[in-house]
A = this chain, B = another copy of it.
């Protein structure tokens, strides 16, 4: 019984596109971000969407494939931006600042995706299916380390900088902000990026 020409169905019988699908993914992303992946049940997602839990399996193979799609789509977009910065011919300082801004933009526009990656990457990474998470991690490291080394080489950053430690410092500082930053609050993501760049580059001492 081979599949005929259905354009939005795969072999397993679940859909691979459609507005409702996208909507369900957004609902799931929010819950995964708020309660954690393992602690969000398919019934939680279904309730939030106003349908029965079984109906989710019309759209998706499994709960796992939902996070998978959420994370991979987001990361593809984010890393395209990083690569664009790396390839540009701005000076080292501008590149660093733009990397900060792109990151805080992601927190502004995709807080759920950022939170899920922060909280669940370690766990999900233990499954072969999510091997790309480790690759993205390495890629992110490569981006920041390259920018920092360029900064040191051009004399913009301190010569005695421990680039690896500084990378971790920046990575942690930037992404953890997703825990408290709320779009529409008193601070815009641009404000935060500006202040964080300033603290990082110049410090808080007089």
Known interface pairs A157-B206, A200-B199, A206-B156; A172-B176 also in contact (CB < 8 Å): yes
Interface size on A, residues (CB 8 A): 36
Smallest Cβ distance from A206 to chain B, in angstroms? 5
A204 touches B195 (CB 8 A): no
Contacts of A35 in B (CB 8 A): 123
A155, A156, A203 pick with most chain B CB within 10 angstroms: A203
Q: Please report the C-alpha to C-alpha distance between residue A123 and residue B38 in the assembled complex, in whole angstroms.
A: 14
Across the interface, A203 reaches (CB within 8 A) one of B155, B176, B200, namely B200
Instruction: Give this chain's copy count.
Output: 2
**Closest B residue by C-beta to A168:** B180
Smallest Cβ distance from A53 to chain B, in angstroms? 19
- A binding-site residues for B, Cβ under 8 Å: 35-36, 38-39, 119, 123, 151, 155-159, 161-162, 165-166, 168-169, 172-173, 176-177, 179-180, 187, 192, 195-196, 199-206
A165-B187, A200-B203 are known; give 7 further A-B pairs, CB within 8 A: A36-B38, A38-B38, A38-B39, A156-B206, A165-B192, A165-B195, A201-B205
